[in-house]
Chains A and B, each alone.
Chain A
Amino acid sequence: MTHFFDRPLVKKALPWLLVFLLGVSFSFFLFVLLTHDYHWSRVGKYWGNLVRGWGLTIGLSAVALLLSTLFAAILTAGQLSRLAPARWLSRCYVEVIRGTPLLVQIMIGSYMMANALGIDNKLGEGMVILSAFSAAYLSEIFRAGIESIPLSQRISAMAVGFTPTQTYRYVIIPQTIRRILPATAGQFANLVKDSSLLYVIGLPEFTSQAREVHSNSYAGFAVYLPLAIGYLILTIPISLWTRRMEERFRYEH
């Protein structure tokens, strides 16, 4: 007796059934979005606030993206270091950051640490916390990428006379970049989206502005739909850009 899912007819019909179900759910989703009675006019005078919030999110994310990459590179070097304390320290950092929610880190970072240091700059705090958070994930991507390059490449590089630095610069890193691009882009998009949590410390970024506009205007979904689209406008180019970079770095056809 063949298993139910192994029967020829079921095997043929199953993918189509899945496509059908997906289509139905998607249509329902669109239907809700399109037939909803939006109160666009209520948003009216608040568009400026939304745009300002969006701008802040862009600036904040751009800085955090650079900072986190830099910090992740240092953490990766630490994790791969020959010095045991450097390895332990970076390892601990990565585990603590990855093991706790970003929301908790934002509150500890802003209310406890920044306060203790006498810092009162929400934008700076937000950027640093977000970078520190993202760097832990990025460094894991970097480390795994570097470790995935086969030993034979290092030995070949050694045999042609490269120094360890040259081996990294000309052999390991270029091959690593190709491998880590998709995961890195995913993390960059995450960073943009995660910046929305910074509303809890009162940073007037995109989500924070949208919440305020919402409570002032009673505009409902007319605020949240542009909010979602605003984030998509930032994350989709990241994804498209990675595709192009992947093409550029492709060496196995």
Chain B
Amino acid sequence: MNIELHDISRVYGESRALHSLNLSIGESVRVLALIGPSGGGKSTLLRLLGGLEVPDTGEIRIGGKNLPKDEAGLLAHRRANGYVFQSFNLFPHLDASSNVALPLIKVHGRGESEARSLAQASLERFGLGAHARKFPAELSGGQQQRVALARAIVSKPKLLLLDEPTSALDPEMTSEVLEVVAELCRDGQEIILATHEMGFARAVADQIVFLDEGSISETGPPDQLFDRPTHEVVKRFLGKVMRW
């Protein structure tokens, strides 16, 4: 996916969310997982990569090009990529089909009927064909997240950014959403995923980045990072979360 971070910092008022981050992700990496304790900077980094926020210092280069900082450039960047949050992704006043189709029509310039059939296909792919006319409030949390995924990928994004997409779900729904994400990974979709699901990160990711207190403690391929962590913080964190 060819991403480079040079000296990236992000400050919210008094607190530093990211501390001069430097990172280089090679072309061979298709799925990148961000792990680490809550408040470590995973979401902030995703927001910067997705163009939802601008870093206070530093440059992000994706595919050799600097990520723009002006509103028009950021808009174009957001339109080229897909994004799924932890929860409340969907527009509650629109049914599943419209949630997927509306951005296609208004942002990507598709015709109404073309957008509808693309939306239907995308929903069917994730096992939601029968729920197209339902409103978010009529869907389970897992179904809502799958609709959000269907909406994020229907415009064929270059990068799919997932910010803890299963953190608000129970184990059963979590696995139904991870199933879908795993399928996207198998299909070659480039994904950056922030997650607390260590087993899943290990299974799908080509590279893991461990973020703690706004800095990268360690990064490497999953087997290396999970089996032979070198950084003390990473060892302690993995020891804690893998214990049960």
Residue ranges of A at the interface with B (Cβ–Cβ < 8 Å): 150, 152-153, 155-163, 166, 170-171, 174-175, 178, 249, 251-253
Q: Are A159 and B88 in contact (CB under 8 A)?
A: no
- Chain A: which residue is nearest B151 at the CB level? A160
User: How many Å from the CB of B93 to the closest CB on chain A?
Assistant: 5
- A contact patch SS: helix
User: Out of B85, B90, B94, B107, which one reaches A155, CB within 8 Å?
Assistant: B85
Question: Which B residues are CB-close (under 8 A) to A251?
Answer: 92-94, 135, 137
Interface members, chain B 125-169 (any A CB < 8 Å): 135, 137-138, 151
Chain B interface main SS type: loop
Residues of chain A within 8 A (CB-CB) of B22 are none
B229 within 8 A of A: no
Q: Which of B76-109 contact A (CB under 8 A)?
A: 78-79, 83, 85, 87-94, 102-103, 106-108
Of residues A153, A157, A160, which shows the largest number of chain B Cβ atoms within 10 Å of its Cβ? A160
Residue of A152, A161, A175 near B85 (CB, 8 A) is A152
B41 interfacial contact with A, CB 8 Å: no
B51 to chain A, nearest CB (A): 9
Docked complex Cα distance between A170 and B52 (Å): 19
A and B contact pairs by CB, cutoff 8 A, 27 listed: A152-B85, A153-B91, A155-B52, A156-B85, A156-B90, A158-B52, A158-B78, A159-B52, A159-B78, A159-B83, A160-B78, A160-B102, A161-B75, A161-B78, A161-B79, A161-B107, A161-B108, A162-B103, A166-B106, A166-B107, A170-B102, A170-B106, A174-B93, A175-B91, A251-B93, A251-B137, A253-B135
> B50 within 8 Å of A by Cβ?
yes
Q: Which of B79, B91, B94 has the most CB of A within 10 A?
A: B91
Q: A159-B83, A161-B107 are contacts. A252–B137 as well, Cβ < 8 Å?
A: yes
Q: Which residues of A contact B90 (CB under 8 A)?
A: 156
Q: Which residue of B79, B89, B92 has the most chain A CB atoms within 10 A of its CB atom?
A: B92
A156 to B93, CA, bound (A): 14
Please name the residue on chain A nearest to B88 by beta carbon: A152
CA distance A175 to B135 in the complex (A): 13
Contact pattern, B 102-124, Cβ under 8 Å of A = 1, otherwise 0: 11001110000000000000000
Please give, as numbers and ranges, the residues of chain B lying within 8 Å of A163 by CB-CB distance: 75
Known contacts A150-B88, A161-B78; decide if A253 and B137 are in contact (CB<8 Å). Answer: yes
Within 8 A of A (CB), among B41-97: 50, 52, 75, 78-79, 83, 85, 87-94
Cα A48 to Cα B128 in complex, Å, equals 64
Decide if A156 touches B91 in the complex (CB within 8 Å): yes
Residues of B within 8 A of A249 (CB): 93
List the B side residues contacting A153 at CB < 8 Å: 88, 91
Pair A252/B135 contact, Cβ less than 8 Å: yes
Interface centre among A156, A158, A159, A166, by most chain B C-beta atoms within 10 angstroms, is: A159
Q: Is there contact, CB below 8 Å, between B135 and A156? A: no
Bound: A152/B136 CA distance, A:
15
Chain A residues within 8 Å of B103, by CB: 160-162
Top-7 shortest CB links A-B: A161-B79, A159-B83, A152-B88, A160-B103, A161-B107, A252-B137, A251-B93
Knowing that A159-B52, A174-B93 touch, tell me 12 more A-B residue pairs with CB under 8 angstroms: A155-B85, A156-B85, A156-B88, A156-B90, A160-B83, A160-B151, A161-B75, A161-B78, A161-B103, A161-B108, A170-B106, A253-B138
